[in-house]
Amino acid sequence: MMVAALIGLSLALLWALYRLQQHRSRLRLLNRTVRARRLLLQERQPETGETSWDALAEATNSIISENAELQQLRSGQLAQLQATLGTLREAVLILDPDNYVLMANSALHTLFPQTQHIIGERVETVLHSRDFQTFVDELRRGRSKPQTEMEFLTDTDSIWMQATGTIIPSLDGKPAEWALFVLHDVTRQKQLESVRKDFVANVSHELRTPLSIIKGYAETLLEGHRDMSEADREQFLRTIHRHGERLHLLLEDLLSLSRLEAKGATVHRESLKPISFTAAIVEDYRSRPAARAHTLEFTHDPVLPDLLADPLKLTQVFENLLNNALKYTPAGSTISIGLHRHGDEIEISVRDDGPGIPAADLPHLFERFYRVDKGRSRETGGTGLGLSIVKHICQLHGGRTWAESELGKGTTFRIRLPLNLQARTRNQEDTATA
């Protein structure tokens, strides 16, 4: 009896052990397949016929299939999102709750070349802007302005961005913490704005001095002209006239510049004989009292093709350069005007043997209101716009201009204008001499 009971018990134990073993191996299989996201039924050998295990396998299979589908959908949507963001000109950035970068589009890499490996980095280590950091913090606290302009430092310079930020809403109702930012490059607008502000400030400054002189002298004349000597009165009137003239010149130059800079500005081109055209200007200058103490030379190639140019504007170029050469060189100086062909271009040069211009000033000479010697320029009625006008006229003719100078030796202004070589077949070559 006892033995039979023991055998019975042993058999029951063995059966239990066998079942446990089976469950263990199924659990191992379940674990393995779930980890590998493989379908359980494919792994499984013929069905066990045990309802509970088969049901579990079924349920696990459907979860894994669903998961695989969702995974595929997610990758597709992510690829689609990345492709869409890749076409944007604005930089897009997604940050996790700790401000580590989750996603960035290609515009961000273009605008900030140092961000090639930004994914997984803390944003402030790759994007250097204190304002942006504050913007991110304030957005998370729900206090940021909808759009803010801010400066970012790059390796060499700085760029301005208009930033928009938003918190990505969570789907499960928990507090949302991912943040999405769109950065729009406004550097060019900022630069233009600053040029405009500088220009307005410069014009106001240029107008203020002559206007206040005119006002002051006119008031003194009004109050005391009866008690004034004839000589004083005349001197006052001459001063008013001189500053009125200066205002007139300034407004003329400003108008010229604004016409030259206007969108769609064009030049009225005519076929000109460059040698005779320049010779007439040089002759006119030689007879002017302002050039009496200077020597004017004119050298040119013996023969030059016709030039398609606007005669009035080209005259203005010569006048601005010759007036400068006369103004900024002492009596007895020589001014040499040259006209030479260089391939498909004609070069006009105006050289003087005056004091010259420091190398540091040369790159700025053609900027509006830039003066090397401020006192001398104003004293001689300079507006600070002459060379800027020269530059714009050259550009409208498809040409370029620059200055070369050596301190104590003199300055040469050079202009290269393209020759329209078709015009040459219809016209005679210019061989006049000055």
Q: What are the residues binding ligand ADP (CB under 6 A)?
A: 320, 324-325, 328, 352, 354, 357, 365, 370-373, 377, 382-388, 411
Alpha carbon 268 to chain centroid, angstroms:
31
Q: Which is nearer to ligand ADP, 53 or 369 (CB)?
A: 369
Q: Which is nearer to ligand ADP, 115 or 323 (CB)?
A: 323
93 forms beta bridges with: 104, 181
**How many residues in the chain?**
434
Q: Is 218 exposed, middle or buried (0-12, 13-18, 19+ CB in 10 A)?
A: middle
Please give the order of strands across the beta sheet that includes 295-300: 295-300, 334-342, 345-352, 410-418, 400-406
Q: Which is nearer to ligand ADP, 384 or 399 (CB)?
A: 384
CA–CA separation, 62 vs 52, rounded Å?
15
47 sits in which H/E element: none
Nearest distance from residue 319's CB to ligand ADP, in Å? 10
Q: Which is nearer to ligand ADP, 256 or 411 (CB)?
A: 411
Nearest distance from residue 304's CB to ligand ADP, in Å? 25
CA–CA separation, 32 vs 340, rounded Å?
87
Q: Which is nearer to ligand ADP, 377 or 401 (CB)?
A: 377
Contacts of 166 (CB under 8 A, 6+ apart): 139, 179, 180
336 forms beta bridges with: 297, 351
Nearest distance from residue 212's CB to ligand ADP, in Å? 20
Residue 240 contacts residue 214 (beta carbons within 8 Å): yes
Nearest to 147 by CA among 104, 177, 184: 184
Q: Which is nearer to ligand ADP, 159 or 365 (CB)?
A: 365
Residue 30 contacts residue 40 (beta carbons within 8 Å): yes
Contacts of 227 (CB under 8 A, 6+ apart): none
Q: Which is nearer to ligand ADP, 20 or 195 (CB)?
A: 195
Nearest distance from residue 325's CB to ligand ADP, in Å? 5
Nearest distance from residue 237's CB to ligand ADP, in Å? 25
Nearest distance from residue 374's CB to ligand ADP, in Å? 7
Nearest distance from residue 397's CB to ligand ADP, in Å? 18
Mind giving me the DSSP string for 342-379?
A: ETTEEEEEEEE-SS---TTTGGGTTSTT--SSHHHHHH
Nearest distance from residue 411's CB to ligand ADP, in Å? 4
Residue 179 contacts residue 140 (beta carbons within 8 Å): yes
Nearest distance from residue 250's CB to ligand ADP, in Å? 9
CA–CA separation, 159 vs 358, rounded Å?
31
Q: Which is nearer to ligand ADP, 99 or 334 (CB)?
A: 334
Q: Which is nearer to ligand ADP, 305 or 354 (CB)?
A: 354
Nearest distance from residue 305's CB to ligand ADP, in Å? 29
Q: Which is nearer to ligand ADP, 305 or 386 (CB)?
A: 386
Contacts of range 127-132, beta carbons closer than 8 Å, 24 or more positions apart? 127/93, 127/152, 128/152, 128/153, 128/154, 129/153, 129/161, 132/161, 132/163
Residue 106 contacts residue 86 (beta carbons within 8 Å): yes
Token pair belonging to 390? 């020269």
Nearest distance from residue 377's CB to ligand ADP, in Å? 3
Nearest to 433 by CA among 278, 270, 318, 286: 278
Q: DSSP label at 176?
A: P
Q: Which is nearer to ligand ADP, 103 or 385 (CB)?
A: 385
